A and B are shown apart, each in its own frame.
Chain A
Amino acid sequence: MAKMHLTMTVNGKAVETLAEPRELLVHVLRERLNLTGAHIGCETSHCGACTVDFNGKSVKSCTVFAAQAQGAQITTIEGIAGPDGMHVLQQSFREHHGLQCGYCTPGMITRAYRLLQENPTPTEAEVRFGMAGNLCRCTGYQNIVKAILAAATEMNSAKEAAQ
């Protein structure tokens, strides 16, 4: 099958590669662009380990074809940190022990990033509901929720301080 010429913006940079239209976006990211942060945990779109930020939305990259991603703006875990270092979410996950084996973590943080963009002051229930597209087998979620709530608090006070 002939490959298509795929151009996207990934983590702020223009990228191009060749891919079959049917290639899963997660494979394009991992295999062609060497961004192996997004992981594969299932083939039925349940686990969320492959979550990226796709045109401003949290999307399971295993459920998008390369062809559909033509022209897309994508942020992966590798692009979550800022120029000054790790994102508050990344620090908070460490601070609150929100990860163990690390396999779900890129998906969790990338999803939490968008969740907090849309709802900067979530309740615990809203965090649990908002993160229900990401499965974890190690942590039991409790510290993940704690980490996200703590990150939200810190991000909001930083915003207030800046104002």
Chain B
Amino acid sequence: MNDQSPTHDERVAGLKGLGTSRKRVEDARFTQGKGNYVDDIKMPGMIYGDFVRSQYAHARITSVNTAAALAVPGVIAVLQAADLAPLGLHWMPTLAGDKQMVLADGKVLFQGQEIAFVVAEDRYALADAIELVDVDYEALEVVTDPFKALEPGAPVLREDLAGQTKGPHGERIHHNHIFRWEVGDAPATDAVMAGADVVAEEMVYYHRTHPCPLETCGCVASMDKINGKLTMWGTFQAPHVVRTVASLLSGIPESSIRIVSPDIGGGFGNKVGVYPGYVCSIVASIVTGRPVKWIEDRMDNLMATAFARDYWMQGKIAATKEGKITGLWCHVTADHGAFDSCADPTKFPAGFFSICTGSYDIPVAYVGVDGVYTNKAPGGVAYRCSFRVTEAAYFIERMIEVLAIKLGMDSAELRRINFIRKEQFPYQSALGWEYDSGDYHTAWDKALNAVGYDALRTEQTQRVADFKAGKTRKLMGVGLSFFTEIVGAGPVKNCDILGMGMFDSCEIRIHPTGSALARLGTISQGQGHATTFAQILATEIGISADLITIEEGDTDTAPYGLGTYGSRSTPVAGAATAMAGRKIRAKAQMIAAYLLEVHDNDLEWDVDRFVVKGVPERFKTMKEIAYAAYNQAIPGLEPGLEAVSYYDPPNMTYPFGAYICVMDVDVDTGVADIRSFYALDDCGTRINPMIIEGQVHGGATEAFAIAMGQEIAYDEMGNCKNATLMDFFLPTAWETPHFTTDFTETPSPHHPIGAKGVGESPNVGGVPAFSNAVHDAFRPFGLTQSHMPHDHWRIWRIAEQLGLHA
């Protein structure tokens, strides 16, 4: 050993592995404008397609006149439902077991619905042509309220389902009813409610909003007739699922379909499902023999692609007079719009909403969900959350506040009394989930301490007095949120997307000169997988992350995976990565044993090498081992150094966190100033602290937007009121608050590296924090519940209704 050999710590640092804030490899291309997004793709002979969309929310299409459009120079074709019908493609199956129109088949069911697909040589001729397509409508009665939709005389939306009293999830009780899903123990819960000291009841509405990634959805579909291969680049959060669906719909074998997700400009759940644009592009490419590009406008994106939320949650929470919760009851009216294209695992039409017992030890609970059709865009998707987890977390964190009001208690204390205790993990919830690990009390104490909670309450009490004395017109709100979410879908035995089990995968090849290439079944849309998954591997196999290339998104080369959404990449593909890494290391150990002429068990692993136990000067580095794998004929071992893992997680993971928002609310203008926002996250093992912090900033900003103004609203005629960025609230750097991030680290016991995932926690935990702050500001004046979003006029209305303007 010479004096220049690196120390143990230097070798660890050189790996840039787990736990380091490694700078991102993606940034080189993005900061220089060299990303490769779908709309950057140009192919010889490429043509463009786009839709004629419905002005009406519910109408029969009596005629579509395309003559003027076809006369525009450069226009090639106009596809309608009748053109897709012979291929069986005018309707397509949704991810929720429903079907949806690809092109209007006799009628339209929501404003913005696709009526015809026009194809032209260039975008400009295409736009001119679309304007010239003349559609005649016969307006039908519109229903946008899911409760009205279930009334006896409500208009019939889904004529295609006429007479079908059974849907993919059981009985349909009304022509606009989709499913009823139940979990928990209804009789036991009713009994608890009936006998409880205190029952607080509230209707909590989580309004309709939209993931609105900065890049809209789109694709380039190219049918190569000579080779019989269909290639499609697109904004796909689950490229392998798209390939399987494309094969099932088109009849082309999967071996002749290649799906590529290039760089994606944000997904947030918006890019999980299959949209009519993808199907029409494929058909147009087959018909014309040329590549067809479809890129939607922002209005198309907001009006027609999958919305999120729209859950009316009627809740009852029972407790002893000391504040110990004894039961939770929830009935949800779920507004799915015109088609149920919810992206959920198939057995879960309401996603994982049953996580709604939250962070609390609630012995008895019941949830019932009724899905309903209305004349709105179809969906919904999990917008930066696991399936319906934002809704569940918002529900329970509001019910806690409502209960605290009824009990006359501080809600921080009410939470503390009811948290699942550390000793109770793994914890079986009353609604059937096994929470893997948690230490809620430690996190809560840390958070309350960090914000100076007691001092805030003292300040608030003074502020209420000052307000009543006329010294100020600003109220102060402290918004508390302690969330537990359920991510990392999921075990194949109960989680599948269209029948594909929700495992994930990693395939690794080590090169003779000691670098590596790994491919995953997931696809980053900004989360930094190329950077972070290399870190996981670096720590497992002792090769520097800088020498590990990570690839995702090309179904020709990547192992099958279920994609990236619902914070599943780290829990599932991250686990597969670690397991594949361990397979590499296991073979590497055998190679090292051969090279060192010892038995496998005589070796121990040390950062980046195998060392003979007790003989530190005898070792083989991974670099040496990699070369030997290609260079040596080792008895009993194949040449090369490669491994694959398809990982079926034994459980979901359960990240949690404590968020506290302090705001000052002007009761006369409705303007809320966010004074501070503290976010403590526990995502288990922390792979890259810099990236975790970035995820929290981003998710908390989306939470801020959703809670404080972002919505997709309709008038009674079904006109969408927020179809542009004028009225769909995306905050700028000016409105967005500053975030203070913190953490605890409670590893997941079942995950190979103990990591739980974090990308969506801030949206899950953030919305209740902001919303509870608004509610808290008005609590002293009698407010129990006011629906989001808390934009200026709605905050003003709270004050008005409480008589604070007199």
Residue from the list B30, B298, B527, B690 in contact with A42, Cβ < 8 A: B298
Binary flags per residue of A34-74, CB closer than 8 Å to B gives 1, else 0: 11111111111011010000000000000000000000000
Chain B residues with CB under 8 Å of A135's CB are 214, 725, 730, 732
CB neighbors of A among B215-248 (8 A): 215-216
Q: How far is the CA of A47 from the CA of B732 in the complex (A)?
A: 9
> Interface 1/0s, chain A 107-123, versus B by CB < 8 A?
00100000000000000
In the complex, B160 has a CB within 8 A of chain A: no
The answer, yes or no, to whether B134 is at the interface (CB within 8 Å) is: no
Taking a contact as CB atoms closer than 8 A, the residue among B23, B33, B214 that contacts A36 in the complex is: B33
Nearest residue (CB) in A for B35 is A102
Residues of chain A in range 137-160 having any CB-CB distance to chain B below 8 Å: 137-145
B367 within 8 A of A: no
Cα A90 to Cα B32 in complex, Å, equals 7
B215 touches A39 (CB 8 A): yes
Instruction: Tell me the minimal C-beta distance from A99 to chain B in angstroms.
Output: 6
With an 8 A cutoff between CB atoms, is B299 at the interface? Answer: yes
Q: Interface code B34-78, partner A: CB below 8 Å = 1, 0 otherwise?
A: 110101101000000000000000000000000000000000000
B739 touches A99 (CB 8 A): no
**Which of A34, A76, A86, A134 is in CB contact (< 8 Å) with B31?**
A86
Determine whether the beta carbon of A43 is less than 8 Å from that of B32: no
Cα-based distance from A109 to B33 in the complex (angstroms): 10
Q: Label chain B's interface by main secondary structure.
A: loop
**B701 beta carbon closer than 8 Å to chain A:** yes
Residue of A nearest to B27 (CB): A94
Residues from chain B with a CB closer than 8 A to the CB of A104 are 214
**Residues of the A chain whose Cβ atoms lie less than 8 Å from the Cβ of B690:** 97
Given contacts A100-B528, A102-B263, 10 further A-B contacts (CB under 8 A): A27-B123, A39-B265, A42-B725, A43-B297, A97-B691, A101-B526, A103-B265, A128-B736, A139-B698, A140-B696
Q: Chain A interface residue count: which class?
A: 35 or more
Taking CB atoms, residues of chain A closer than 8 Å to B40 are 30, 36
Q: How far is the CA of A135 from the CA of B213 in the complex (A)?
A: 10
Which one of A76, A80, A95, A139 contacts B694 once the chains associate, using CB atoms below 8 Å? A139
Tell whether B8 is near chain A: CB-to-CB under 8 Å.
Answer: no
* Contact A103–B214 (Cβ < 8 Å): yes
Contact for A140 among B124, B528, B698, CB less than 8 A: B698
A23: interface (CB < 8 Å):
yes
Q: Which of B297, B694, B734 lies in contact with A129, CB distance below 8 A?
A: B734
Q: Are A140 and B37 in contact (CB under 8 A)?
A: no
Closest to A38 in B: B33
Inter-chain contacts of A93 with B (CB < 8 A):
27, 31
Which residue among A49, A90, A97, A131 has the maximum number of chain B CB atoms within 10 Å of its CB?
A: A97
B615 interfacial by beta-carbon distance below 8 Å: no
8 Å CB contact of A40 from B29, B39, B527, B734: B39
Question: Complex: how many Å from CA A136 to CA B213?
Answer: 9
Count contacts on B: residues with CB < 8 A to the other chain. Answer: 57
- Kindly list the 7 A-B residue pairs having the minimum CB-CB distance in the complex, ordered from nearest: A37-B33, A102-B30, A101-B526, A103-B265, A140-B697, A77-B33, A140-B701
Chain A's nearest CB lies how many Å from the CB of B723?
10
Instruction: Please measure, in the bound complex, the distance between the C-alpha atom of A86 and the C-alpha atom of B31, giving whole angstroms.
Output: 9
- Interface Cβ pair total, 8 Å cutoff: 179
Q: In the docked arrangement, what's the CA distance between A161 and B268, Å?
A: 45
Contact status B33-A35, CB under 8 Å: yes
Is the Cβ of A137 less than 8 Å from the Cβ of B266?
yes
A89 shortest CB reach to chain B, Å: 8
Complex: chain B residue closest to A105, CB-CB = B30
Are A101 and B27 in contact (CB-based, < 8 A)?
A: no
Residue in chain B with minimal CB distance to A20 = B124
A81 at the interface (CB under 8 A from B): yes
A78 to B28, CA, bound (A): 12
**B residues at A contact (CB < 8 Å):** 23-24, 26-35, 37, 39-40, 42, 123-124, 212-216, 263-266, 268, 295, 297-299, 525-528, 690-691, 693-694, 696-702, 724-726, 730, 732-734, 736, 738-739
Contact A102 B732 (CB under 8 A): no
* A127 interface residue (CB < 8 Å to B): yes
Contact of B265 among A91, A102, A129, A144 (CB under 8 A): A102
Could you say which residues of chain A place their CB within 8 Å of the CB of B30? 99, 101-102, 105-106
Residue of A nearest to B73 (CB): A1
Closest Cβ of chain A: how far from B337's Cβ, in Å? 22
Q: Are B702 and A137 in contact (CB under 8 A)?
A: yes
User: A101 with B299: in contact, given A41-B215, A137-B212, A142-B738 (CB under 8 Å)?
Assistant: no
Given the complex, which residues of A lie within 8 Å of B24, measured CB to CB?
Answer: 94, 97
Report the nearest A residue to B526, measured CB to CB: A101
A127 touches B32 (CB 8 A): no
Query: What's the least CB distance linking B679 to chain A, in Å?
Result: 11
Choose among B27, B297, B697 the residue that contacts A142 (Cβ–Cβ < 8 A): B697
Least Cβ distance of B670 to chain A in Å?
A: 21
Residues of chain A within 8 A (CB-CB) of B39 are 30, 36, 39-40
Instruction: A95 to B395: give the CA distance in the assembly, Å.
Output: 39
Residue of B nearest to A23 (CB): B124
Per the bound structure, the CA–CA distance linking A134 and B725 in Å amounts to: 12
- Judged by a CB distance under 8 angstroms, whether A22 is at the interface is yes
Can you identify 26 A-B contacts, CB atoms within 8 angstroms? A20-B124, A22-B124, A36-B33, A37-B34, A39-B215, A41-B215, A46-B726, A77-B33, A90-B32, A94-B27, A94-B28, A97-B690, A97-B691, A101-B215, A103-B213, A105-B30, A109-B31, A137-B212, A138-B214, A138-B526, A139-B697, A140-B736, A140-B739, A141-B732, A143-B697, A145-B733
Kindly state the separation between the CA atoms of A109 and B31 in the bound complex, as whole angstroms: 8
- Are B736 and A141 in contact, with the CB atoms below 8 A? yes
Given contacts A94-B24, A139-B698, A144-B733, contact A47 B214 (CB under 8 A): yes
Say yes or no: is A132 at the interface (Cβ < 8 Å to chain B).
yes
Query: B732 near A78 (CB under 8 angstroms)?
Result: no
Nearest residue in B to A106 (C-beta to C-beta)?
A: B33
Q: Is B698's CB under 8 angstroms from A131's CB? A: no
Alpha-carbon distance A140/B26, docked complex (angstroms)? 19
A97 adjacent to B733 (CB under 8 Å)? no
